[in-house]
Amino acid sequence: MSDAAPEPETDIVGDREGIPFVGAGPGDPGLLTVRGRALLERADLVVHAGSLVNSELLDAFCDHAEQVNSVGKDLEELVPLMRDAHEEGRTVVRLHSGDPAIYGAALEQMDALESEGVPTYFVSGVTAAFAASATLDTQLTLNEVANHVAFTRPQGKTLGPEEDHISEFVEMGDVTTCIYLGTHAVRETMDRLLEDGADPDTPVAVVYHASWPDEDVIRGTVADIADAVEEAGYRASALVVIGEAVTGGGYERSYLYGDWASGGSEDEATDDGATPTTEDMT
Ligand SMILES: C[S@@+](CC[C@H](N)C(=O)[O-])C[C@H]1O[C@@H](n2cnc3c(N)ncnc32)[C@H](O)[C@@H]1O
């Protein structure tokens, strides 16, 4: 019998060629996808996103691999590093926090690699907003409370004031607004909301390090959350969630477990809010 670790099944790692851009999830190694884990376990080089990727996850799944922290490195350094390793026949994984499709700047790296002849592809992860909703024991969409979710960030170096739509999302009333990259700017964001006429009692939660061992939740309102966040001292690594869904209350029962389940009319909703089709009912 051989001591070698069994090769992961092709249907778990997938059949794509090239460098996978893998979502590490929000922090808890248990929230990495099965495919992400299998890819990390066979990697020779893992280029990871630094402090938002839990070192426990790196220790657990890619201790054997060369690990490079991408923080502070520009594309001119990262792209040749990954390209050369790939061309030498090494197995490379680019590991982003959460899901690489959300505020990950993945595509510019992928395009640069593709233009050098290196194929790339995405492997989804659990984004911080989903971890935060689990921490808050709520849904981001909630029947009769929140019909939409906005993933957004506050104005700053990257986003001009005219591109900051937080007040518009909050004004809509039935949107759960999830603010990434905004922990340092909670007071400015809440001040702007108040200036723009938001209800001061609108619920807000700030979820620091969702799913990490030191996870923390600060609950409040548009009027008072900034004081509480400043008192706690958080300046980074938290998700700001605004809207009635934060409380998990005030919702109406969906149709799913009512008449429809026992053969009610066809225009009633499924648990994902869509009109059921014959397929939904199987
Ligand atoms: C550069 S963005 C990356 C987001 C990541 N791609 C995702 O899908 O979660 C970093 C921001 O995500 C949020 N974030 C990431 N992980 C988090 C966590 N575990 N708990 C709370 N917020 C988190 C914070 O707002 C942080 O400033």
Centre of ligand 1 to C-alpha 70, Å, is: 16
Instruction: Please compute the mean of the pLDDT values over residues 216-227 and round it to a whole number.
Output: 98
Instruction: Please compute the mean of the pLDDT values over residues 102-129 and round it to a whole number.
Output: 97
Centre of ligand 1 to C-alpha 123, Å, is: 17
Contact 32, 125 (CB under 8 A): yes
Query: Are 118 and 199 within one domain?
Result: no
d(CA 246, CA 249): 8
Centre of ligand 1 to C-alpha 90, Å, is: 29
Give the confidence band of 3 by pLDDT, cuts at 50, 70, 90. low
Give the confidence band of 277 by pLDDT, cuts at 50, 70, 90. very low
Nearest ligand 1 atom to the CA of 26 is 19
| Structural domain containing residue 182 | 129-247
In a domain, 90, yes or no: yes
Q: What is the CATH number of the domain that holds 71?
A: 3.40.1010.10
Cβ–ligand 1 contact at 13 (below 6 Å): no
Centre of ligand 1 to C-alpha 121, Å, is: 21
Note the pLDDT of residue 275.
Answer: 47
Which region among 66-80, 216-230, 252-266 has the lowest average model confidence (pLDDT)? 252-266
Note the pLDDT of residue 191.
Answer: 98
Centre of ligand 1 to C-alpha 109, Å, is: 19
Over residues 232-271, the pLDDT tens digits come to: 999 999 999 999 999 999 999 887 776 654 544 444 445 5
On average, the pLDDT of the chain sits at 90
Centre of ligand 1 to C-alpha 26, Å, is: 7
In a domain, 87, yes or no: yes
Cβ–ligand 1 contact at 207 (below 6 Å): yes
Say yes or no to pLDDT of 278 above 50: no
The residue nearest atom 2 of ligand 1, judged by CA position, is 103
Give the confidence band of 142 by pLDDT, cuts at 50, 70, 90. very high
Over residues 171-202, the pLDDT tens digits come to: 999 999 999 999 999 999 999 999 999 999 99
CA R_g for the chain: 22
Whole-structure pTM value: 0.90
The residue nearest atom 7 of ligand 1, judged by CA position, is 98
Cβ–ligand 1 contact at 62 (below 6 Å): no
Query: Are 23 and 119 within one domain?
Result: yes
Q: What is the CATH number of the domain that holds 211?
A: 3.30.950.10
Query: Are 209 and 166 within one domain?
Result: yes
Instruction: Please compute the mean of the pLDDT values over residues 154-159 and round it to a whole number.
Output: 91
3-state secondary structure of 95: strand
Note the pLDDT of residue 253.
Answer: 87
> Considering 104, 126, 148, which residue would you say is the last residue of a domain?
126
Cβ–ligand 1 contact at 97 (below 6 Å): yes
H-only helix segments in the chain: 10-13, 34-41, 55-62, 75-87, 106-115, 128-135, 166-172, 186-195, 225-232
Query: Are 86 and 172 within one domain?
Result: no
Best residue for ligand 1 mutational test, from 48, 51, 103, 177 (most atoms within 8 Å of Cβ)? 103
Nearest ligand 1 atom to the CA of 239 is 22
In a domain, 260, yes or no: no
Total count of domains within the chain:
2
Query: Are 88 and 104 within one domain?
Result: yes
Number of C-alpha atoms within 13 angstroms, CB side, residue 259? 6
Centre of ligand 1 to C-alpha 28, Å, is: 13
Contact 130, 241 (CB under 8 A): no
In a domain, 193, yes or no: yes
